[in-house]
Structure 1
Amino acid sequence: MQNFNNHARYYPLHHFIITPLTLVYLIWTIVNLAAAFSNGTSLMTASYHLLGAVILVLLPLLARIYALKNQDRLIRLEMRQRYFELTGKSFSEMERKLRLSQIIALRFAGNEELVPLMEKASKEKLKSKFIKESISNWQVDKYRV
């Protein structure tokens, strides 16, 4: 069962293989560039490798950022729909009062506690961690990025 203590999600291929390997390659190319400066050989080749390593480090980071931004948009859309279904009102006024991190945290709340917790979060400016800890009926989300 998903809850506050186990809701964080890692994608092993991204977090433990691709990103670390690209960082290792970047460090290796920096060491090779430093060696090329010190002994004066193949500076151009070492520079090309460094450029390639920087590009390779940026690719998985950008892919992750794009996926998270898309997920944030979907969460806002989901919360607009849920709020309307529960209250019959537009979410736009409440959305202006809440930070995105609060909205993301609130999406884990079950329907019966969502609206009261949302109002408390907007009035008391609760941090997302406190919001998640306050949820008693955790809504499972196994499809997060």
Structure 2
Amino acid sequence: MKAQSYNNHVRFYPAHHFIYYPILILFMAAAIYFMFTTADQLLWGFITVIFIFLFCLAFMLRQHYALILQNRIVKTEFRYRYFVLTGTRFETIEYKFTDDQLFALRFAPDSEFLTLIERTLTENLSSDAIKKAIVHWKGDYNRV
């Protein structure tokens, strides 16, 4: 598996991104074409609306549940990691961070973790700034 970094941490799901969506777009384009070139405009218009609905639904739901669960798991791992490194519970200061900041901090190795937490608190770093500040990227290879 290729080492993960800021430049390559975006992940694609081939079945969705390269098979399902292109086929759905192709069918949607065909339905739109037939809607304007055949006598059955109402029927093809209805079919087009169905394909548009399916596309939107698939896009919204494709990872919705998995991402919610992943967010909870990442926060739990984060709390555990903070406790292991400091001996104190993270929940006492967790409210000072946004979810995006926490999710970005997970890429920091233990040697940079506490320093980046302090910097994030004092400088209110954005998630992108946190990711760019990480010197030795700790990959998250199991995310959805």
TM-score when normalising by structure 2: 0.83
Compared with structure 1, are the counterparts of its residues 130 and 46 closer, same or farther at alpha carbon in structure 2 (3 Å cutoff)?
A: same
Instruction: Give the Cα separation in 2 of the matches to 1:70 and 1:35.
Output: 46
RMSD: 2.0
The CA deviation string for residues 2-59 of structure 1, in whole angstroms up to 9 with x for no partner, is: 22222221222222221232233233333433446xx4x351x324413431342134
Instruction: Give the Cα separation in 1 of the matches to 2:79 and 2:63.
Output: 24
Task: Letter of the 1:88 partner, please give it.
Answer: G
Which aligned pairs between 1:108-127 and structure 2 lie closer than 5 A? 108-127=107-126
Secondary structure of the residue aligned to 1:92 is helix
Percentage identity across paired residues of the two chains: 37
Deviation at 1:117, TM superposition (A): 0.2
Instruction: Give the Cα separation in 2 of the matches to 1:144 and 1:127.
Output: 21
Deviation at 1:140, TM superposition (A): 1.9
Deviation at 1:84, TM superposition (A): 1.4
TM-score when normalising by structure 1: 0.82
1:56 is matched with which residue?
54
Instruction: Give the Cα separation in 2 of the matches to 1:21 and 1:121.
Output: 43
1:106 is matched with which residue?
105
Compared with structure 1, are the counterparts of its residues 26 and 109 closer, same or farther at alpha carbon in structure 2 (3 Å cutoff)?
A: same
Runs of 5+ unmatched residues, structure 1: none
Deviation at 1:108, TM superposition (A): 0.6
- Total equivalences in the alignment: 141
Runs of 5+ unmatched residues, structure 2: none
Secondary structure of the residue aligned to 2:62 is helix
